[in-house]
């Protein structure tokens, strides 16, 4: 029972990171317009978030 809970918890955490990126992508143009910056600058933030997510999951 405990093992199933841990597996479910880890699966949930993994999908939350992916879901965060999927909801972030369509709003990049709006975010860039709101902060008066370029699409490339906002995309850099996404790359940093993906690298951080990867490093967090490899430890």
Q: pLDDT of the chain along its 59 residues, tens only?
A: 556 666 776 676 666 666 766 777 788 888 889 989 998 888 888 888 778 877 877 76
Cα separation values, 2 from 6, 7, 44, 57, Å: 6, 9, 39, 21
pLDDT of residue 31: 84
Range of the domain at 6: 2-58
pLDDT of residue 36: 93
Cα separation values, 16 from 13, 20, 24, 30, 34, Å: 5, 6, 12, 22, 25
CB 49 within 8 A of CB 21: yes
Separation between Cα atoms, residue 45 and residue 28, nearest integer Å: 10
pTM of the model: 0.53
pLDDT of residue 16: 67
Q: Domains in the chain: how many in total?
A: 1
């Amino acid at each position: 029972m405990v093992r199933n809970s841990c597996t479910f918890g880890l699966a949930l955490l993994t999908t939350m990171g992916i879901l965060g990126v999927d909801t972030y992508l369509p709003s990049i143009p709006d975010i860039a317009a709101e902060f008066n910056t370029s699409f490339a600058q906002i995309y850099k933030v996404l790359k940093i978030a993906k690298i951080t997510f990867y490093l967090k999951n490899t430890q």
